[in-house]
Structure formats: C-alpha cells, structure tokens
Amino acid sequence: MAQVFYYENTMDLEAIIGLEIHAQIATKSKIFCPSGAEYFGCEPNVNVDPVCLGMPGQLPVLNQEALLKGIRAALALNCRVNKYSHFDRKNYFYPDLPKGYQISQFEFPLSEHGYLEITLPMGGKKRIGITRLHLEEDAGKLTHFNGGTLIDFNRAGVGLMEIVSDPDLRSPEEAVLYAKAIQQVMRYTEASDADMEKGMMRFDASISLRPRGEEKLYPRAEIKNLNSFRSLEAAIRYEIGRQKMLWEEGKAPERDITVGYDDTTGHTYFMRNKEGSDDYRYFPEPDLPPVILEESFLEEIRAAMPELPEARYRRYLDQDGLSEAEALFLLDDRDLAFYYDEVRDKSGDAKRAASFVLSILVGRLKKDGLMLKECRISAGQLAELIGQVAGGKISMNIAKGEVFEEMYLSGRSAEEIIAEKGLATIADSAELEKICRQVVAENQKTVQDYMGGKDNAFKALVGQVMKATRGQANPELVNQTLKNLLK
Ligand code: MN
C-alpha cells in the first residue's frame, strides 16, 4: 500500500517532472547483430551471437529497420532528425553488459527538439517538450535466485529508443497522460509494440520541487525502472510527498540522487548519488560509421508516415461523428481502431459500424473475456451484416440479436444465417397488409384510442404487428401500411 504523506501546507511548492522512456524498437533482429530480438517467454540464452555476447573482435552493424523506425517515431514526436549522428560507448561495468559498455548515442543523437501534446482531463492541451530521441542497445537480464544470480542475454543488444522529455510535467497525472500518449505514438507508427507487460516500455522519472514562482531547478531524484503506468503515478506521488517533507523541514535536497521504487511498499528508496555523464567516459564508437541521412531518405519516410493518433482522433470526431468517449476508446486499442476502420470502409456506414463494433462486439467479447484477435467475425463479415440492415433485408433488432450471436459463435456469414433461419424481413407488402388488417381487427379498442388522438396507441399497434411477424417486418413499411388502413 502506498503511504500517504500528510503535511502542513505552509510552503507553496511546485513539482518539476521529466520522463525518460525506453521503448523497444519493433524489429525481428537485434540492433547491431542478426540474433532474434525475442526474449519474453523464451528459453534463456537462445537468441545470442558473438556480437551481443561481447566476444572480442566482433563488429556491430546497424539494423536498417531499427534506424527507419527510430526516425519514424522521431518525426511523429515532431523532432528535428539530425542529418549527422553517431554512436558512442557508454562505459560502465555490470554483469548483464558483457562488453563493459553500452552502445548508445550521446553528443550527436538521432533526433532532438520535439514535442507531444497531451489532452488535460479538465480540457485543453499542454505541449510537452521532447529533448531528444536516440537509439541504443538493451542489456541482458539478471535473475537473483537461491543466493546466486542467473544471466540471460536474450535481451542484450535488443534495439531501444530512449525518449527524454523536457522537465515540463507538473503532476503524476500529467506524467501518466504523457506516457500514454507516447505509447500511442509508438503503436500507431509501429515503431514499438510498447507492451508494458512484456517490458517493452519502461520509465525513469526525474522529480524536484521548487517554490512556486521560482525559475531555477533544484537537485532532483531520478526514480529508475518503472514498468507500469500505475507504478509511474504512485512512485512520483510518493517522491513528491517525500521531498515536500524535506522542504517543510528546511532540508531541501542538495544533490541529485538515484532512487528505486518498491511496488510492494509503495516507497522510493535511496540507491546512489546520481552519476553525471562524465562518469561514463563516453567516446565515439569506433566500430560503427556515423549515421548520415540524405534528405531524400527522410522525405521518403515522411511521405509514408501512417496516420497519427491525433489525426485519427479528429477524423473520428469530425468525419465519423463519434463521441469523444467513443473516439478515445478506439484510439486506446490500435487493433480495435483498425478493425472499426475496416468495418466502416466496407459498409460505408460510420454510425452503424461504431454501434456494432463499440457496443455489440466489444460487449460480447468482454462477456467471454476474449481479445479481438480471437473473434470469429471478420471486419468484412460485420460490414456485410450492416449492409443487410441498411438494405432492409433484416431489422436492426434481428441483426443485433439472433444473427450477430450466430455469427459470433459460428463465424458464418450473415447472408447464410439469414437464409437458413428464414429471418429476412417481410418485404412483401400484400402479406404484410394481411397481417396488419388482422391486428387492426383484433385490437379495436387501441384503434379507437388512436383515432381519438392518442399517438401511443399507434405505437402499440406497430408493436403488435412486429410481434405477429416475429420482428421480421420492416418497421417503416409497417408504419405506412397501418397508417393507410387507419386513414
Ligand atoms: Mn538509456
């Protein structure tokens, strides 16, 4: 349980927060060698080779796909992509780092000076500056076990984007909104799957406080390695409380520190005084040539940029007429957003597509605890079902009920099910007239009420006809036929 700090609010302090996000680049192989980039759920040490194991004399080669995806993410984050960048060695010793250094970028990163807008809960937008996005390699994974430590190098050498924000965030909530916005950009650009549960996106959060109104920055605490939105928010909240107490006691932090966060206690704990960049003895990686980008190459990437979350959101609102809640719900789940898009495109009916996807399909999957990819109804089949409704072949009620359920269970097409079960709307006006006449004859009291000016009575008659036809009559046709009979 997170501890809550109670303090006398004698000082007006403001929190200054910056995030460093590591996102795994979605490539098949590692960033500087041919081994597979899979590590989650793999047998230990199966995706390794001499380069990522740090054997002497092995040469790294930059993965082109990793570079391309890094650039695409940088452009989506409004960064300036540098025509010249190079890799550096970041020297430190740790058992999960077999070379004794990490290949990263320091002085000349791939991209800089970007921003991302977040939508604040009270409305309005806030622009969060992005200092830089650079490429680097991940380290291996240590597992402490029975008093010993096991090392798995599957993750060593997997490509990462490190995205550093300016210290523009002011609350734990803003930090989470920003982190979620970054996750969306990663997913819609396909630069990273950004799956937190698989460790594909991790956060370091820097926090300092200052008396409101001051411009200067005070020493900060950097919380390392947060791997869920929940712990990101809780850790920042705790750290703000901890520092607030120090300020209140007249013991404001005097040096930068690195802290860890313990999920079980909800506390941050001191790890070390923060290392400066000098401590890493950065120097240019001699085994990799600098990355020199032609304008034409960048133009090609710009021209092929996929639709970004913000544009998609506007399209859902302005063109499709979805509500803000519906648009946000779709954006949150890229697979669902693409599925919806396909249903809408194939049916040409945004309103019905939204209704079928967002309420009926999502509700049904939720009931069974299934993911969209486990759904047996393809987007094309759902569009066809919508077509059957739009074309008057079946009523909306029958489509949503019996037909949808049967499609969901069997994966068969709407057309097949409608034919087999005889669910098509009664389109034959002579037959419908016969049924309407019968309903009128059997409900004289209701007819009198309607003639006497009671509109509800008419609805009751329509209901009777629908009942007599087991919902298979076209409601508009029923309306017309009854009105003609009762003129
Ligand atoms: Mn890093």
Do residues 402 and 433 share a domain? no
Q: Would you list the DSSP string of 428-445? A: -HHHHHHHHHHHHHHTHH
Do residues 271 and 346 share a domain? no
Least confident of 47-56, 358-367, 391-400: 391-400
Do residues 392 and 362 share a domain? yes
Least confident of 129-138, 153-162, 325-334, 461-470: 461-470
| Boundary (domain end) residue, out of 296, 321, 351 | 296
CA 305 / ligand 1 centre spacing (Å): 26
CA 374 / ligand 1 centre spacing (Å): 36
| Boundary (domain end) residue, out of 296, 328, 344 | 296
Strand partners, 20: 164, 204
What is the predicted pLDDT for the residue at 4?
58
Per-residue confidence at 272, pLDDT binned at 50, 70, 90? confident
| Residue whose structure tokens are 């009762």 | 486
CA 286 / ligand 1 centre spacing (Å): 20
CA 166 / ligand 1 centre spacing (Å): 16
CA 295 / ligand 1 centre spacing (Å): 27
Do residues 146 and 251 share a domain? yes
Q: What is the DSSP letter of 212?
A: T
Nearest to 77 by CA among 34, 26, 111: 111
CA 181 from centroid of its chain's CA atoms: 8
The H-assigned helical ranges of 1-115 are: 64-76
CA 329 / ligand 1 centre spacing (Å): 31
Could you tell me if residue 4 is inside a domain?
A: no
**Burial bucket for residue 31 (CB in 10 Å: 0-12, 13-18, 19+):** buried
Count the domains in the chain.
Answer: 3
Do residues 116 and 201 share a domain? yes
Q: What is the DSSP letter of 191?
A: S
Residues with CB under 5 A from ligand 1 (ion): 162
Taking each helix axis from N to C end, the angle separating 324-331 and 334-347, rounded to the nearest 10 degrees, works out to 120
CA 148 / ligand 1 centre spacing (Å): 27
CA 93 / ligand 1 centre spacing (Å): 15
3-state secondary structure of 271: strand
Do residues 42 and 127 share a domain? yes
3-state secondary structure of 24: strand
Do residues 258 and 234 share a domain? yes
215-257 pLDDT tens trace: 999 999 999 999 999 999 999 999 999 999 999 999 989 999 9
Please give the average per-residue pLDDT across 208-213, as a whole number: 94
Could you tell me if residue 325 is inside a domain?
A: yes
What is the predicted pLDDT for the residue at 456?
87
CA 103 / ligand 1 centre spacing (Å): 10
CA 23 / ligand 1 centre spacing (Å): 10
Do residues 335 and 251 share a domain? no
What is the predicted pLDDT for the residue at 452?
87
> What residues make up the domain containing 344?
307-421
Residue 96's contacts (CB-CB under 8 Å, 6 or more residues apart) are 139, 140, 141, 142, 151, 153, 156
Could you tell me if residue 7 is inside a domain?
A: no
CA 486 / ligand 1 centre spacing (Å): 78
Task: Tell me how far apart the alpha carbons of residues 144 and 96 are, in angstroms, rounded to a whole number.
Answer: 12
Could you tell me if residue 319 is inside a domain?
A: yes
Do residues 274 and 324 share a domain? no
Task: Tell me how far apart the alpha carbons of residues 419 and 83 are, in angstroms, rounded to a whole number.
Answer: 62
What are the structure tokens assigned to 469, written together?
A: 């036809």
| Residue whose structure tokens are 């390699």 | 137
Radius of gyration for the chain, computed over Cα atoms and rounded to the nearest angstrom: 30
Could you tell me if residue 44 is inside a domain?
A: yes
Strand partners, 129: 115
CA 364 / ligand 1 centre spacing (Å): 42
Could you tell me if residue 3 is inside a domain?
A: no
Do residues 409 and 433 share a domain? no
CA 136 / ligand 1 centre spacing (Å): 7
CA 160 / ligand 1 centre spacing (Å): 8
CA 298 / ligand 1 centre spacing (Å): 24
Least confident of 191-205, 219-233, 260-274: 260-274
Do residues 117 and 44 share a domain? yes
Kindly report the pTM of this predicted structure: 0.84
Do residues 352 and 439 share a domain? no
CA 138 / ligand 1 centre spacing (Å): 8
Bigger pLDDT: 169 or 6?
169
| Residue whose structure tokens are 């046709």 | 477
Least confident of 2-11, 246-255, 263-272: 2-11
CA 484 / ligand 1 centre spacing (Å): 76
Per-residue confidence at 293, pLDDT binned at 50, 70, 90? very high
Could you tell me if residue 163 is inside a domain?
A: yes
Could you tell me if residue 316 is inside a domain?
A: yes
| Boundary (domain end) residue, out of 296, 330, 354 | 296
CA 22 / ligand 1 centre spacing (Å): 7
